[in-house]
C-alpha cells in the first residue's frame, strides 16, 4: 500500500529536521535557504505501544510494526507557481502525495534568517496556501472548459458540473482551500479526478523552541486562531530538541531527555500516527511465537482484503477469519479465556476489519 504523506512548507522551517527525527535514512539540514534540492522518501515505522503490550502476553521472536511513507519535499516560496525558487519542480512531488504535513516556523532564532524577513507563521500559511490555490484554480478552469464543450452538445451532467466547479473556483479565488468547500456527496465525482492540492487532508506542525514543547507559544496561538474554522489538526513539536533526542542511542537517556522537556513520548510519534490516520490507514495484528506484526490496510477493508495485505494467496483462498478484539485479548489474557468468554469470533468474507483486530486467516489454495 504505497500511500504517501508529504512534508511541505516554506524553506528553512525545519522540514528536513523533522523528517530526520522520523526516518533512519538521514538527509542534510542546513542554515541555507533551499538547502534541500530533491524530495526524499522515508519508510517510517508507525509507533504502536499495543505491539509491546501484546508481547507481554505472547512472547515472540520479533515485533514488526506497520510502516508509512513520508516524503520530505524542498521548501516552496512565493511565486513557486511561476517557477520561483526551486518551487515549480516540486509541485509535482506534492501532487503525487495523498496527504500533507505543513511545517510552520514558530521559533525565534537570530542566527537563522527567514526568507520573508521575519517569523510569521500565519503569513507563511497564506504564502503556501496561495501557491497551491493558484494551481488548483488552473486545474478547475481546465475542467470547466472541457465541461463547456460537453454542455454545448446537451450533456446535463456537464452543465451541473460547471455549476459545482464554478462555485469551487470562486471559493479558491477567495483564498480558501478546496478541502473546506462544502459539497454534496453526489457532486464529489466532478472533483475526484482533479487531485487538487488543497483538497488533500492536512496536519499543521508548529515547530517551536525547546521551552515551548509542552504549552506552545504566541506564534502557536496565532496559528490556532487562524485555522480554527478549517478542517485540520495542529501539532506542536520542538523539532531541534526532538532531533537531539532522536540522536541518542540509549533508550534511558532518551526517556530522561523527554521527561526533562515535560514530554511522555516524542512529538514526532504523534505526527507519524497522525500521518497514518490522515492517509486513512489502520492496523490489524497477527500474533504468534515467531512474530507479532502490525499490518496496514485502508479503513473499511473486508477480511479477505486484509488477508491480501499479508499475501495474495490468503486473499484468493480465503475461507474465514478468526477474530479477537485487542482489548478483549488484553483484558482476558489468553486466546482460551477469550473463547471461554464467548468473545472469539469466526467471520466470513463480508467482515469489515477494525483497527486493532487480532486476525487468524484460514485459507486454502
Ligand X SMILES: Nc1nc2c(ncn2[C@@H]2O[C@H](COP(=O)(O)OP(=O)(O)OP(=O)(O)O)[C@@H](O)[C@H]2O)c(=O)[nH]1
Report the interface residues with Mg ion, using CB under 5 A: 15-16, 36
Place of cell 532531533: 243
Binding partner at 17 among ligand X, Mg ion, none, C-beta below 5 to 8 Å by kind? ligand X
Is 107 a binding residue for ligand X by CB under 6 A? The answer is yes
In the complex, residue closest to ligand X by CB: 75
Considering the rule CB under 6 A, would residue 40 count as an interface residue with ligand X? no
Q: Helix, strand, coil % (nearest 5) of the chain?
A: 45, 20, 35
> Please, are residues 121 and 212 in contact by the beta-carbon 8 Å criterion?
no
Shorter beta-carbon distance to ligand X: residue 34 or 195: 34
240 binds, among Mg ion, ligand X, none (CB under 5 to 8 A by kind): ligand X
Output 75 or 308, the one with its CB closest to ligand X. Answer: 75
Asked if 15 touches ligand X (CB under 6 A), the answer is yes
Residues 222-281 that bind ligand X (CB under 6 A): 238-240
Can you say whether residue 253 is alpha, beta or left, with left for phi > 0 and alpha for psi between -120 and 50 degrees?
alpha
- Nearest approach, Cβ of residue 105 and Mg ion (Å): 12
Q: Are 81 and 91 in contact (CB under 8 A)?
A: yes
Taking the complex as a whole, the smallest distance from the CB of residue 183 to ligand X amounts, in Å, to: 33
The C-alpha atoms of residue 252 and residue 56 are separated, in whole angstroms, by 20
CB closer to ligand X out of 207 and 277: 207
Q: Measured from the CB of residue 157, what is the shortest distance to ligand X in angstroms?
A: 42
Site size toward ligand X, by CB under 6 A: 25
Nearer to ligand X, 17 or 321 (CB): 17
Look at residue 14 and give the partner it binds from Mg ion, ligand X, none, a contact being a CB closer than 5 to 8 Å depending on partner kind: ligand X
Binding to ligand X, residues 50-79 (CB under 6 A): 74-75
Q: Find the distance separating the first CA and the last CA of the chain, reported in whole Å.
A: 23
Cα 330 from Cα 53, distance rounded (Å): 8
Pinpoint the alpha helices (H) of the chain.
Answer: 15-22, 50-57, 87-95, 121-152, 156-173, 189-192, 218-227, 239-247, 251-260, 267-278, 303-310, 312-316, 326-332, 335-340
Which does residue 239 bind out of ligand X, Mg ion, none, counting CB within 5 to 8 angstroms by kind? ligand X
- Burial letters for 328-362: b for 16+ Cβ neighbours within 10 Å, e otherwise? bbbebeebeebeeeebbeebeeebebeebbbbebe
Q: Smallest distance, Å, CB 22 to ligand X?
A: 12
> Which residues of this chain interact with ligand X, rule CB under 6 A?
9, 11-17, 29-31, 33-36, 74-75, 107, 109, 112, 207, 209, 238-240
Amino acid at each position: 500500500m504505497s500511500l504517501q504523506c508529504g512534508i511541505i512548507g516554506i524553506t528553512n522551517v525545519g522540514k528536513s529536521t523533522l523528517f530526520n527525527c522520523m526516518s533512519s535514512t538521514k538527509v542534510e539540514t542546513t542554515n541555507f535557504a533551499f538547502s534541500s534540492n530533491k524530495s526524499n522518501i522515508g519508510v517510517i515505522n508507525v509507533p504502536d505501544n499495543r505491539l509491546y503490550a501484546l508481547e507481554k502476553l505472547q512472547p515472540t521472536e520479533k515485533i514488526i510494526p506497520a510502516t508509512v511513507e513520508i516524503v520530505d519535499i524542498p521548501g516552496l516560496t512565493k511565486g513557486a507557481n511561476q517557477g520561483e525558487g526551486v518551487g515549480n519542480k516540486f509541485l509535482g512531488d506534492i501532487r503525487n502525495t495523498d496527504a500533507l504535513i505543513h511545517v510552520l516556523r514558530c521559533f525565534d532564532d537570530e542566527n537563522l534568517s527567514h526568507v520573508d524577513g521575519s517569523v510569521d507563521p500565519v503569513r507563511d500559511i497564506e504564502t503556501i496556501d496561495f501557491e497551491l490555490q493558484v494551481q488548483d484554480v488552473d486545474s478547475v478552469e481546465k475542467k470547466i472548459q472541457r465541461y463547456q464543450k460537453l454542455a454545448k452538445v446537451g450533456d446535463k451532467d456537464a452543465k451541473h458540473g460547471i455549476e459545482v466547479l464554478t462555485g469551487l473556483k470562486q471559493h479558491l479565488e477567495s483564498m480558501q482551500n478546496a478541502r473546506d468547500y462544502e459539497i454534496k456527496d453526489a457532486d464529489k465525482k466532478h472533483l475526484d479526478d482533479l487531485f487538487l492540492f488543497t483538497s488533500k487532508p492536512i496536519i499543521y506542525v508548529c515547530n517551536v523552541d525547546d521551552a515551548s514543547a509542552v504549552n506552545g507559544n504566541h506564534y502557536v496561538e496565532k496559528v490556532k486562531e487562524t485555522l480554527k474554522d478549517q478542517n485540520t489538526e495542529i501539532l506542536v513539536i520542538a523539532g531541534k530538541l526532538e532531533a537531539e533526542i532522536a540522536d541518542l542511542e540509549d533508550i534511558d537517556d532518551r526517556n530522561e531527555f523527554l521527561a526533562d522537556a515535560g514530554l511522555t513520548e516524542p512529538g514526532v510519534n504523534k505526527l507519524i500516527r497522525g500521518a497514518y490516520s490522515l492517509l486513512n490507514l489502520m492496523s490489524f495484528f497477527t500474533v504468534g511465537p515467531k512474530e507479532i506484526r502490525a499490518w496496514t490496510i485502508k479503513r473499511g477493508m473486508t477480511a479477505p482484503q486484509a488477508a491480501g495485505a499479508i499475501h495474495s494467496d490468503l486473499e484468493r483462498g480465503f475461507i474465514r477469519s478468526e477474530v479477537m478484539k485487542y482489548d478483549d485479548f488484553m483484558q482476558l489474557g489468553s486466546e482460551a479465556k477469550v473463547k471461554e468468554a464467548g468473545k472469539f469470533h469466526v467471520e466470513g468474507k463480508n467482515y469489515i476489519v477494525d483497527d486493532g483486530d487480532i486476525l487468524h486467516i484460514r485459507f486454502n489454495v
